[in-house]
Structures are given as structure tokens and as C-alpha cells.
């Protein structure tokens, strides 16, 4: 009773969520179906496909708030980025938003108030009442800020944040932001149709005065976690292969992507291709001694997560393309540099990647494209078995 009351109160503070509950009521199985085993969000509204089967995700990458706050242009960049978010959210009306890393230019922030930038970043999402979650990037780990601090602040100030942390011992040094979010076809379904996976690729620098470079790959402890989570899902919900789709988000691209850039075909793999991948562009490459360290993660993701439609990264601001990674037979896509902060070139522009599921079919195609702030569309591709 107390628990349900608590849910009701939380829902009541958000008019759209109250609507969700009201819609659920006529065909509710029982109130307890809202808290099915394995649902990591018993007190939050379920993420669902629309009644017509569509599910739309808008991805903001590399927002880079807080760059040079001591200069007028630094502050103006954040004003511009917030304006971009407001324009895009109003036009696109996504069902879910992903902030795919480098939310903050952490090397320019101050110890006493660095996470206040999270308040600015989530404000447009709070106003629009859109559920979302984030990955953190290499610029989100710096002497004056950590991934964990950003996550805790987000959880505190954004009621519709679905960002979580990995269990103790998973994720490695300063890599807590690894988790998954279930998406249901209908609000009272016992099992989800789609899993959104999020991974922390770390990088940047450790906290404090004696800061040192952090590993820039998803830690190998995450590989075993992927396997055990996938097994727990199969046990609770039935085999994923026949009943669930998946997509994944990680800020720094897996290293396997780097070798594919020279053979990109701009009509088959459209999108801006202005950022030549080199040291530091993909996981485990800032130090050649670390080559291959992201492989346990990459192997486990592709082995244990069936129906993986695509993997999405940010990090390399001049790239927008998708490509099929042939060794794993999985599609990879860059997002779009969204923030006015962070390195750029005048002609790259700013925008988002949209991802549309037209049905909850776990093997169905996705449509995805880049949308610039001014509304122009680029690199619209169908991501399915025949892609590339
Ligand atoms: C902010 O956006 C305006 C136009 O939208 C642009 O002219 C200006 O250079 C941007 N300012 C910064 C600091 O990025
Ligand atoms: C961290 O914050 C302190 C205090 O606000 C500031 O003096 C220092 O310059 C910052 N360090 C870095 C590396 O930005
Ligand atoms: C943080 O503190 C610094 C130094 O006092 C100030 O310049 C900056 O505007 C503050 N940033 C935020 C996000 O509050
Ligand atoms: C940083 O290193 C210096 C020199 O080794 C040491 O004196 C100092 O205590 C260290 N500071 C911290 C916060 O660990
Ligand atoms: C590039 O892709 C297009 C469309 O799929 C194809 O017609 C063309 O032959 C490809 N070019 C090369 C050089 O592979
Ligand atoms: C919209 O912005 C993009 C990226 O800056 C630019 O390439 C394109 O020309 C713009 N379109 C219009 C219609 O202004
Ligand atoms: C992308 O292409 C698909 C398939 O051709 C089309 O249905 C859709 O309207 C396009 N999206 C945009 C935003 O142009």
C-alpha cells in the first residue's frame, strides 16, 4: 500500500505520467505487474512504444557544457546548446532521449560547482518531460568532476532520468555508468520488447590534484556482467533471440570501427566523414600498449545480446556515418555533435541523430538520420539485415 501510494505521488507530479497510469488502468492486470521481477525502475513510469508501434529516440552527443566559463563566448556556447536542445525537442517530440557522452568540458570546471552544469543540460528535458538517460565521456572525468558525480546530480535533479550505475566491482576505475533500460510494447506487458544498453568507456583523467590518465575503454569486468544480465533476462522473460531487440550506446567507438573508415562508400554509408580516426579516436588507442583491451566488452556484447540492431557512439565530432562491422556483423553509427562546445569546424554544423523503430518487432528495421539544428536532414539510412 505504502509503495503504491509512493508511485502514485511520484506520477502525480508529472501530468503526462498521470495520463500513462490512467491509460493503464482499464486493462491493468494487477498493480503488481508494474513491478515485475527484473524491472530496475519500479518507481518510474515504464518506457513504451506508441500505440501505433513507433518508438523514437533522439540522441544528443558531445554537448560540452562549461567550456571556458570565464569568457563570454564560453557562456554563449551553452546558451546556443540549450537553444538547440529546445528547438530539436519541440520539433522531434521523441519518446526517449540519449545524451551520449561528453556532457561537460570537465577540464574547465571548478571543484565547487562543476555538477551544476548538469542542471542546465537537463532543464530542457525536464521542461519537455521526456524520459532520457546518459552515458559519460572522456571529458566528464577530470580533476574537478567524475562520471559518478554527474550521474548522481542527474538522478537528483531530473525526475525522468533513467541513468543508473553498474553494481560494485563492474566498470573499472571511474567507469560506473553501465546499465540497461527496458522498453515495453504496452505499459502492462509482463516482458519488454527492446533493451537499451549503455556502457561507460571512461577515459579522461582521475580526480584530484595528482590526476593521471584513465583507461579509455569499457572495462573487461563489463563482459561478464553483460553475459549474466543477458542470462537473467532470458530466465525471467524467455529467450531474447525470438522475443527482444536491443541497441547499445557507448561514448567512445569500439576500436574495431577504426579499420573500416578507409573503405567507407559515401553513397552506401552516407554522412559527414571529416574526422580521421587515429590515436584516441576509438577505445584503447591513446596508448598503444592498451590495444585490444576493449575486446572482452565488444566480444561479449555481440555474443550475448541477440537482435542487436546497432551500436551508437559520439566522441569524433566530424563524423556522422554508419557502417557494418563485418567481423561481428553489427551496424555501428556515429551520432552528431550537438553542443556548441568542443572542437568543430565551421561547416560541420550541430544537430542530433534520430532513431525510429516502426514496430516492436525484435528483428524489424530501424530508420535513422542526422537532423541539423536548422531542420535539414542528412544521411537517412535504413538499418536492417540488407544494410551495407
Ligand atoms: C551561437 O549561435 C549563433 C547563431 O545561431 C552563432 O552566430 C554564434 O557564433 C554562436 N556562438 C557561439 C559562441 O558558439
Ligand atoms: C579545479 O577547481 C579549483 C577550485 O575551484 C580550481 O582552482 C582549479 O583550477 C580547478 N582545476 C582544474 C584542473 O581545472
Ligand atoms: C562556478 O564557479 C565559477 C567561479 O566562481 C563561476 O565563474 C561559474 O560561473 C560557476 N559555474 C556554474 C555552472 O555555476
Ligand atoms: C600529490 O602528490 C604530492 C607529491 O607526490 C603529494 O605531496 C601530495 O600529498 C599528493 N596529493 C594528493 C591529494 O594526493
Ligand atoms: C558504393 O555504393 C553504391 C550503392 O550501394 C554502389 O552502387 C557502388 O558500387 C559502391 N561503390 C564502390 C566503389 O564500392
Ligand atoms: C543547415 O545546417 C547545415 C549544417 O550547418 C548546413 O550544411 C545546411 O546548409 C543548412 N541548411 C539550410 C537550409 O540552411
Ligand atoms: C528517411 O527515409 C525513409 C525511407 O525512405 C522515409 O520514410 C523517411 O520519411 C525519411 N525521413 C526523413 C526525415 O526524411
* Cell numbers found for residue 124: 530542457
Please tell me which residue, 18 or 238, carries the higher pLDDT value. 238
80 pocket-lining for ligand 1 (C-beta < 6 Å): yes
From 66, 111, 209, give the residue whose CB has the most ligand 2 atoms within 8 Å, as the site to mutate: 111
- Residue 7 above 70 pLDDT? no
- Residue 381 above 90 pLDDT? yes
Burial readout 237-253 (b: 16 or more C-beta within 10 A, e: otherwise): beebeebbbbbbbbbbb
* Cell numbers found for residue 7: 508511485
Question: Which residue in the block uniquely carries the three cell numbers 521526456?
Answer: 130
For residue 373, give the ligand 1 atom closest to its CA. 5
- Residue 26 above 70 pLDDT? no
Question: Mean pLDDT throughout 16-32?
Answer: 38
Are residues 130 and 55 in contact, defined by beta-carbon separation less than 8 angstroms? no
* Cell numbers found for residue 207: 580526480
285-307 residue pLDDT tens: 999 999 999 999 999 999 999 99
Report how far residue 361's alpha carbon sits from residue 245's, in angstroms, rounded to the nearest whole number.
8
316-352 residue pLDDT tens: 999 999 999 999 999 999 999 999 999 999 999 999 9
Closest by Cα among 59, 51, 42, 52 to 7: 42
* pLDDT score of 32: 40
- Using DSSP's 3-state secondary structure scheme, residue 301 falls into helix
Q: How far is the CA of 95 from the centre of ligand 3 (A)?
A: 33
pTM of the model: 0.92
Which residue lies with its CA nearest to atom 11 of ligand 7?
A: 380
88-135 residue pLDDT tens: 999 999 999 999 999 999 999 999 999 999 999 999 999 999 999 999
Nearest-Å Rg of the Cα atoms of the chain is 20
Residue 69, Ramachandran bin (φ over 0: left; ψ between -120 and 50: alpha; else beta): alpha
- Residue 13 above 50 pLDDT? no
Q: Predicted confidence band at 27 (pLDDT cuts at 50, 70, 90)?
A: very low
Question: Mean pLDDT throughout 64-84?
Answer: 98
Domain positions in the chain are 1-30, 38-383
The alpha carbon dihedral of 220, 335, 74, 119 has a sign of: negative
Question: Which residue in the block uniquely carries the three cell numbers 540522441?
Answer: 59
* pLDDT score of 37: 73
Q: Predicted confidence band at 3 (pLDDT cuts at 50, 70, 90)?
A: very low
What's the mean pLDDT when you consider all of the chain? 92
Provide the 10 A C-beta neighbour count for residue 387.
16
* pLDDT score of 21: 39
Report how far residue 64's alpha carbon sits from residue 320's, in angstroms, rounded to the nearest whole number.
18
Which CATH fold would you assign to the domain 38-383?
Purple Acid Phosphatase; chain A, domain 2 (3.60.21)
What sections of 93-215 are H helices per DSSP?
A: 116-128, 147-157
For residue 210, give the ligand 4 atom closest to its CA. 1
Question: What's CA 111's distance to the chain center, in Å?
Answer: 26
For residue 114, give the ligand 3 atom closest to its CA. 13
Report how far residue 275's alpha carbon sits from residue 141's, in angstroms, rounded to the nearest whole number.
23
* pLDDT score of 6: 34
Report how far residue 318's alpha carbon sits from residue 345's, in angstroms, rounded to the nearest whole number.
8
From 76, 112, 113, give the residue whose CB has the most ligand 3 atoms within 8 Å, as the site to mutate: 113
- Report the DSSP beta bridge partners of residue 60: 99
- DSSP letter string over 167-183? PTTSS-TT----EEEEE
Cβ contacts of residue 260 below 8 Å, gap of 6+? Answer: 323, 325, 332
Provide the 10 A C-beta neighbour count for residue 90.
11
Q: How far is the CA of 80 from the centre of ligand 3 (A)?
A: 18
- Residue 18 above 80 pLDDT? no
* pLDDT score of 31: 39
The alpha carbon dihedral of 364, 370, 376, 381 has a sign of: negative
Cβ contacts of residue 93 below 8 Å, gap of 6+? Answer: 56
Amino acid at each position: 500500500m505504502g509503495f503504491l501510494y509512493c508511485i502514485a505521488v511520484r506520477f502525480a507530479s508529472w501530468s503526462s505520467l498521470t495520463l500513462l497510469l490512467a491509460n493503464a488502468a482499464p486493462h491493468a492486470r494487477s498493480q503488481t505487474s508494474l513491478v515485475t521481477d527484473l524491472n530496475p525502475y519500479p518507481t518510474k513510469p515504464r518506457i513504451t512504444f506508441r500505440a501505433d508501434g513507433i518508438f523514437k529516440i533522439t540522441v544528443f552527443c558531445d554537448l560540452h557544457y562549461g567550456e571556458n566559463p570565464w569568457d563570454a563566448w564560453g557562456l554563449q556556447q551553452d546558451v546556443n546548446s540549450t537553444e538547440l536542445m529546445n528547438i530539436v525537442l519541440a520539433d522531434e517530440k521523441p519518446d526517449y532521449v540519449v545524451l551520449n557522452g561528453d556532457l561537460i568540458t570537465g577540464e574547465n570546471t571548478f571543484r565547487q560547482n562543476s555538477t551544476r552544469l548538469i542542471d542546465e543540460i537537463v532543464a530542457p528535458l525536464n521542461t519537455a518531460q521526456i524520459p532520457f538517460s546518459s552515458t559519460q565521456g572522456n571529458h566528464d572525468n577530470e580533476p574537478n568532476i567524475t562520471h559518478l558525480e554527474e550521474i548522481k546530480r542527474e538522478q537528483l535533479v531530473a525526475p525522468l532520468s533513467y541513468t543508473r550505475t553498474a553494481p560494485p566491482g563492474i566498470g573499472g576505475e571511474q567507469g560506473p555508468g553501465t546499465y540497461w533500460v527496458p522498453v515495453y510494447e504496452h505499459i502492462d506487458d509482463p516482458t519488454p520488447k527492446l533493451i537499451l544498453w549503455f556502457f561507460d568507456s571512461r577515459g579522461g583523467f582521475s580526480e584530484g590534484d595528482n590526476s593521471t590518465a584513465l583507461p579509455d575503454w569499457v572495462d573487461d569486468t563489463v563482459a561478464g556482467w553483460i553475459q549474466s544480465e543477458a542470462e537473467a533476462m532470458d530466465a525471467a522473460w524467455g529467450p531474447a533471440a525470438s522475443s527482444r531487440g536491443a541497441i547499445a550506446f557507448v561514448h567512445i567507438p569500439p576500436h574495431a570501427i577504426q579499420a573500416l573508415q578507409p573503405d567507407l562508400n559515401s553513397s552506401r554509408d552516407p554522412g559527414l566523414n571529416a574526422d580521421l580516426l587515429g590515436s584516441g579516436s576509438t577505445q584503447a588507442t591513446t596508448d598503444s600498449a592498451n590495444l585490444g583491451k576493449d575486446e572482452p566488452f565488444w566480444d561479449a556484447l555481440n555474443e550475448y545480446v541477440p537482435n542487436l540492431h546497432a551500436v551508437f557512439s559520439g566522441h569524433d565530432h566530424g563524423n556522422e556515418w554508419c557502417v557494418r562491422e563485418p567481423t561481428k556483423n553489427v551496424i555501428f553509427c556515429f551520432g552528431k555533435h550537438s553542443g556548441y562546445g568542443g572542437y568543430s569546424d565551421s561547416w560541420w554544423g550541430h544537430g542530433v541523430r534520430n532513431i525510429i523503430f516502426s514496430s516492436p518487432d525484435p528483428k524489424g528495421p530501424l530508420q535513422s538520420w542526422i537532423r541539423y539544428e536548422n531542420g535539414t536532414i542528412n544521411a537517412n539510412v535504413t538499418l536492417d539485415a540488407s544494410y551495407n
